[in-house]
Every structure is written in structure tokens, then in C-alpha cells.
Structure 1
Amino acid sequence: MKVFVSVDMEGVSGLTDPEEMRAGGRGYERGCELMTADANAAIRAAFDAGADRVVVTDAHGGGRNLRADLIDERCTLVRGPYKPMRMGEGLDSTFDVALYVGYHARAGAERGVLNHTWMGREIQNLYVNGEIAGEIRLMAGYAGSLGVPIGLVTGDEAACAEARDVLGAVPAVAVKRGLDRYAAELIPPARAQERIYETALRSLREERWPQLTMSAPYTLAVEWNATAIAQSCAVIPGVRLTGPRTTELTTDDYADVVGLLGVCATIAGEVGCTGRNYG
């Protein structure tokens, strides 16, 4: 069995403060340790379930958050900025299942801890084939386009609810309950990580994994928070303005959706000058 693990940070056990997600911020180093521990719980479950290969990608920010010296030595780690497929880098059609650890709810989600979509504030709403999408739908769609199902989602209660809305009966572990965007009632990390391990192990052994399948062509629509961002992104071939602050892309290859969104986000971070902050 070949398992792909994508690890974000906002949905990691024990974390609620934006400073804990930002290199140089108060609590960031401890946040990286907690992120790595949540990832290790899923990795350990994968190997205990019989996986012969586990590939892990650092899916948060610049992709330099997972502690390479603390990650389970049996896995392969993909890290670093500007990965072409960003949160999905390393995934291909040869994988049996994907696990999403530390994911969060989409922008505007009620009681979603650190809720946003892809960027801290530049993206107001994202739509894939007309359906409002956060990172869970976006990346589940990418996996589905490769024929890969989803075996686990972990994050806060809002993220788990979003995952069930997108994927149906997907195994999910809520490690915290949001009180507001920056506050939550937490399950202590040691107990949360044990739940991640137990749920992942059960899921990987049972192999009843849902898959998000969408039909091509794929249309990605983005509502940005500024006209300047939309106009700058519309310079990219294939991306067009559909309103003062909205852009749209249609393609037969879902990899274009993920890849060009990453390019647009890089542009948005420069134009908006707020790419490293939540607000």
C-alpha cells in the first residue's frame, strides 16, 4: 500500500494563534513540533496498517514547517516553497489513498479556527465547477482527478464538517472546537494524536475510502479582495476577468487548477503586500 500524507498547520492539535503558524512568530517552533507529531501519528498508522511507502508533503505556507529531524524516519518528506502542486506535491495516480492532516475550514466558515482559503485574506471565495470550495474540496478534487480516494481528514470541528459535506462518510478527527477564528476548546495534543492514529489505522485497514470525482472541464473561479489582484492575475494566459475582483480559469487538466492557483496566489501576495498575515 502506498500512502500520501498532506500536512497543513492551522488544523493541528494545540494551535490557535496566527503567530504559531508564522516563522519567527511567538510559539512557531513549538507549533512545528506539534505539526510533526500530528503527522507522525498518521504516518505510524499507515505503516502499522501495512503501507510499504508513505510520502509526506509539508502543505503549510513556504513548506518549511515539518521538522525533518523529528519526522518518522520511514517516510519520505517533500518540503520547500513554490512546489508546483503546492499542498498536493508528490501525489500521483500510483497512490492508493491520501490522508489530510491539520486541515482547516474555508474562508468565512462559522467557528472555523484560522479559517481561510489558500491565503490569509486575499481570497474571499473560491469555486470549483460552481461549488464553493476550501482547501479540502480543492485538494480532494485533485486527488480524485488522479483516481486517489481520501482516507482521513483531521482539523477542527468546522474542517471535519466541511470534509463530510465534500466527501460524505470520510473518517475525520476533530482535535479542537472553534469558539471564534482565533480561539478554540482544545483536546490536549497527546490525546488528539492518539485519536489520529486510531482513526487512521482503522480507516487504512477497512479501505472504505470516499473519492471526490468531478467531470472535466474544470472551472476555477476566484473572488479576490482587491481589483488590483484580479487584474494582475488576468494577465496569465487562460485566466480571464469575470468581474472587477473575480477571475476564472477553465481547463481539462485539474493540475492546471492547482498549479495556476498557486501562481495567482504568489502574485496576490506581492500585489496585496499581505501574503504572510491573517486578518
Structure 2
Amino acid sequence: MKVYVSVDMEGVTGLTDPEEMHAGGRGYERGCELMTADANAVVAGVYEAGATDVVVNDAHGSTKNLRIDQLDPRASLIRGPGKPMRMAEGLTAGFDAACFAGYHARAGTRHGVLNHTWMGHEIQNVYLNGEICGEIRLVAGFAGFLGVPVALVTGDEAACAEAREVLGEVETVPVKKGIDRFAAQLLPPAVAHALIREAAARALNRLSDFRPYVVPPPFTLGVEWNSTAIAAGCSLIPGTRPAGPRHIEFTSEDFRDIMALLGVYAMIAGRVACDSGIYG
């Protein structure tokens, strides 16, 4: 049984501070260790339930966060920038299940720890076929396009609630309870990792209960930015159309285009934001 594990960082056990999310920030190195430990808990659980092949994708920021020297040796790791499918790099129709670890709630979610969608402040909202969309729905939609069900989501309470809203009775593990965007009540790592391991095994044992999350084509990606300059820059990409002063859209029959193009948009947005100084 082949299992895919996408690991983000904002929803990882013990983490609440933006400084912990990027290289050079206070607490980042420890954050990488905790991120790897969450991934290992998933790997251990699915192997207990009969997995034979596990691929882990580092899905956060630079995608150079997970510690390969600390990763469960039964798993392989995809890391490094330039991945066309970004948070879902390496996911194919050959997998039996997908698991999301360390995920967070979409932008604007009350009590969502480090809540955002794809970018920390440049993106106000992302839409998929006209409905608001966080990273959970986006990556689950890509998995569904490939026919792969999502079996497990771990993160803060708000992320787990979002996962159930999108996916139904998926297995979830809330490792922290948000108080505000940068504050939470945390489970100790030993407790959280035991819960993740148990839930991962349980998810694989009830895999027949899950169905792929299928978004009907054509797929329309909408992005509402915080800047007219970002929207104007992204609108130069062929096929991208303005839908408002700060809002763009793109439609495709292939969900791979949606995943890849959102990453390209983010690169443009990052460059524009860097050049915009105090105007953001």
C-alpha cells in the first residue's frame, strides 16, 4: 500500500510564532525538528497499518525544512524549491492514500493559528470554482483529480474543522487550540505524536471509508491579492484574466495547471511585494 504525506509547518506540534517558520528566525531549527517528528508519527502509523511505500513531501516555504537525518528511514523525502506541483509534488494516481500533516486554516479563519492561504499577507483569499479555498481544499482537490483520497489531516483545531468541512469524516488530529493568530494552547510533543501515530494507523485501516475529493471541471482558480500591482503583474500571464482591481482568474481542464500556476503567481507577488516597500 502506497501512502503520500504532504507536510506543512504552521500546523506542526508546538509552533505558533512566525519566526519559527523561516530560516534564521528564532526557534526555526527546533521547528524543523518538530516538523520532522510530526511527519515521523504519520509514517510510523501508516506502516503499522500495512503501508509498504511512503513518500514525504516538504510542503512549506523553501521546502528545505524537514530533517532528512531524522526522518524515519522507511520513508523517502522530496525537498527543495522548483517543484512544479508545489505542496503536492510527487503525488500521482499510483498512491492509495494521501495524508496532510502540519496543515493550517485558510486566510481569515478565526482562531486559526498562523492562518493564511499560500502566502502570509499578499493573498487575501483564494477561490476554486467560485468557492473560498484554503490549502487543504486545494491539495485535496488535486489528490481527487488523481483519484487519491485524503485519509488524515493534522494541524490546529481550526485546520481540522476545515478538513472535516471539506472532506467529511476524515481522520483529524488537533495538536493545538488557537487563541489568536500567533497564540495557542499546545499539546506536548510526546502526546501529540502518539495521537498522530494512532490516527494514521486508524485512517489506513478504514481507507475504504474515504472517497477522493472531486472538484468538477473546468477548474477556475481565483486569487484576491492585497495589491493592485500584484494583480496587474499576474494578469500578464497568458490565460489569466482580471476579475477586479485586485482579483484575477484562470481556468483549465487540468488541475495540474492550477497547482503550478498558483506557485508562479506567488513568485510574481513576492517580487512585487519586495519592490513595493511600505506600500506592501
What TM-score, normalized to structure 2?
0.97
Given residue 82 of structure 1, which amino acid in structure 2 is its aligned partner? G
Q: 2: distance between equivalents of 1:114 and 1:82? A: 24
Counting aligned pairs with the same residue, the percent is: 64
Match of 1:103 in 2: 103
Query: How many angstroms apart in 1 are the aligned matches of 2:231 and 2:19?
Result: 28
1:174 aligns with 2:174: yes
CA distance in 2, matches of 1:210, 1:164: 13
Q: Which SS does the other structure have where 2:47 is aligned?
A: helix
For 1:243, the equivalent position in structure 2 comes to 244
SS in 2 for 1:273: helix
Aligned to 2:259, what secondary structure does the other structure show? helix
What secondary structure, in the 3-state scheme, does the structure 2 residue paired with 1:165 have? helix
Cα distance in 1 for partners of 2:213, 2:202 equals 21
| Count of residues in correspondence between the two structures | 276
Q: What residue in structure 1 maps to residue 228 of structure 2?
A: 227
Map of 1:153 onto structure 2: 153
1:266 equivalent to 2:257? Answer no
Question: Secondary structure of 1:57's match?
Answer: strand
Alpha-carbon distance in 1 for matches of 2:177, 2:137: 20
**In the alignment, what sits opposite 1:130?**
130
Residues 169, 210 of structure 1: 8 Å contact kept: no
Q: Is the 8 A contact 1:45 1:201 kept in 2?
A: yes
- 8 Å Cα contact 1:112-1:181 kept in structure 2: yes
Match in the other structure for 2:256: 255
Equivalent position of 2:48 in the other structure? 48
CA-CA distance at 1:211 after TM superposition: 2.2
Secondary structure of residue in 1 paired with 2:95: coil
What is the distance in 2 between the residues matched to 1:81 and 1:112?
26
Match of 1:90 in 2: 90
- 2:121 is the counterpart of 1:121: yes
Shift, 1:124, TM fit? 0.1
Alignment RMSD, CA only? Answer: 1.2
Corresponding residue SS for 2:13: coil
Alignment-mate amino acid for residue 7 of structure 1: V
Q: 1:49: how far off?
A: 1.2
Give 1:274 shift.
8.8
Deviates more, 1:49-58 or 1:206-215: 206-215
Encode CA deviations 1:53-95: one digit per residue, 9 max, x unaligned. Answer: 1000000001000001000111110000121000000000000
CA distance in 1, matches of 2:190, 2:264: 37
Counterpart code for 2:141: G
Amino acid at match of 1:251: S
Give the distance between the partners of 2:243 and 2:132, measured in 1 at CA.
Answer: 16
- Residues 1:14 and 2:14 are matched in the alignment: yes
CA distance in 1, matches of 2:11, 2:257: 26
* Structure 1 SS opposite 2:147: coil
What is the CA-CA distance between 1:19 and the residue it aligns to?
0.5
Q: Which amino acid aligns with 1:245?
A: R
Question: Which residue identity is paired with 1:197?
Answer: R
Letter in 1 for 2:176: K
Q: SS of 2:113's equivalent? A: coil
**TM-score normalized with structure 1 length:** 0.97
What secondary structure, in the 3-state scheme, does the structure 1 residue paired with 2:155 have? strand
In 2: Cα distance, 1:97 partner to 1:267 partner:
33
Amino acid at match of 2:95: F
- Give distance in 1, aligned partners of 2:77 and 2:251: 32
- TM-superposed CA distance for 1:214, in Å, is 1.1
Whether the aligned pair in 2 keeps the contact of 1:170 and 1:210 (CA below 8 Å) is no
